[in-house]
Amino acid sequence: MARFLFQRLMHIIPLLIGISFIAFAVMQLAPGDFFTSLSQDQNVSPEMLAAMRTQFGLDQPWYVQYGLWLKNAALLNFGYSLAYKVPVATLIGQRLWNTFILSFCSMAFSWSLAIPLGIMAAVRRNSWPDRTVSLLAFAGISFPGFFLALLLLLFAQRTGWFPTGGMERMTADLMSPWERFVDLLHHLALPVLVLGSAGLAGIMRQMRGSLLDTLRENYITAARARGLPERTVVLKHAARNAINPLITVFGYSLAGLLSGAALVENVMAWPGLGRLILEAVQSKDLYLVMGAFVMSALLLLLGNLVADLLLAATDPRIKFGH
C-alpha cells in the first residue's frame, strides 16, 4: 500500500507541471494582460503601467514568467491576485471551501437516492417502478443543467420560497450559529438540487445495470438455493459486489462535480471556485487563473487515487502490485 501511494503521488507531480504549462500557454494566447484595461484610464500613465508590469514580472518573456511561477509554486507560493489584491492561496482557500460544501452536499444527495433507486429498479425489473425510475433517469440525463437552474431561479423569484443567489443573508453576522446553519441549508437547496440531479440519473442507471449482472452470477443462485431470504441475497451478497464498479465512478464524479459546480456557481451566484475561475479568466488575472487550475487538476487526480483505494478496500480480490 505504501509503495503504491508513493508511486501514485510521484506521478501526480509531472501531471500537474504539464497541466500548469498548458494553462499558462493558453492564457498567453489571449491579447493583453490584466493591466491592459488600465491603459484606457487617463489617470494611469504608461510609466506607471510599465512599473506595475515589472513589479509583477509581466514584462518578462512568457517562458521566464512560467519558470518564476513554477519555482514559487513549488514553495507553495502561488502569487498575488491582481484583481482581489490578496494572495492567491488565501483566496482559493476561501472559495474552495464553498465549492466543497456545495459538491459534498450534492454528492450526498445524488448517491443517497441513486443507490436505493437503482436497487429497487433492478429487483423489480420491467415493473412500473422500474419503468418510472428509468423514465426519470433518461429525463435527468437529457435535461440541460443550466436550463434546470434557470427554471429553479424563476421558481424562487416567483414564489420567494428560496434565495436566488449567494450562500448567506446580508444579516448573517447578526445570527446565532444555528440560524446561520439553517440559512446556509436554505441557500444550498436549489444549487444542490441542480448539481445533484445531474449525477443522480447516471449513477442510478449504472447501479441498476451492475446489480442485474450480479444477480445472474452462480454464487447468487447458490445463495438462493441455501434458502437465504431474498432481502439478504440482494443486499448482503449482490449489492455489495454490484457497487464496486460505482466506486471507480465516485472518483471521476469529483471532476464532474467540479465542472458542474462551475456552471451552477455562475448561474446561481454561488461564491465558489468555479465562479472565481471565470472571473479570473475574464479579468486576465494570470496568477489566480494558474492557482485555480492547478487546484482543480489536483482534486481530479486525488479523486482518482481515492477511487482506487476505495475499490481495493471493498473488493478483496484486488491486490496492489509489488
pLDDT at residue 260, rounded to an integer = 63
pTM of whole model > 0.75? no
The neighbouring-strand residues paired with 87 are 80
pLDDT tens readout for residues 30-68: 776 667 666 666 666 677 777 777 777 777 778 888 888
Q: Which residue has the cell 416567483?
A: 158
φ, ψ (nearest 5 deg) of residue 256: -65, -35
Q: Model confidence at 131, in pLDDT bands (50, 70, 90)?
A: confident
For 179, what's the count of Cα atoms within 13 Å in the CB-facing half-sphere? 7
Q: Please, which pLDDT band fits residue 314 given cuts at 50, 70 and 90?
A: low
Spatial CB neighbours of 260, under 8 Å, sequence gap ≥ 6: 106, 145, 195, 198, 199
* Superfamily designation of domain 88-314: MetI-like (1.10.3720.10)
Tens digit of pLDDT for each residue in 212-265? 888 777 877 787 787 777 777 777 777 777 777 777 666 666 656 666 677 777
How does residue 322 score in pLDDT terms, banded at 50, 70 and 90? Answer: very low
Residue 317 in this model has a pLDDT that exceeds 60? no
Asked if residue 321 has pLDDT above 60, the reply is no
255-to-199, 260, 280, 313 alpha-carbon distances in Å: 12, 8, 20, 22
Grid cell locating 188: 444550498
* C-alpha span between 260 and 107 (Å, rounded): 12
Whole-number Å distance between alpha carbons of 67 and 200: 43
pLDDT for 312? 64
pLDDT at residue 158 above 60? yes
Query: What average pLDDT score do residues 160-189 get?
Result: 80
Does the pLDDT value for residue 271 go beyond 50? Answer: yes
**Which backbone phi and psi does 87 adopt, to 5 degrees?**
-60, 145
Identity of the residue numbered 283? S
pLDDT-based confidence at residue 139 (cuts at 50, 70, 90): confident
Calculate what percentage of the chain has a pLDDT beyond 70.
84
Residue 310 has a pLDDT of 67
Domain ranges in the chain?
A: 88-314
Contact 62, 24 (CB under 8 A): yes
pLDDT given for residue 12 in this prediction: 83
DSSP secondary structure, 259-274, as one string? HHHHHHHHHTT--SHH
Q: What value does the mean pLDDT of the chain take?
A: 77
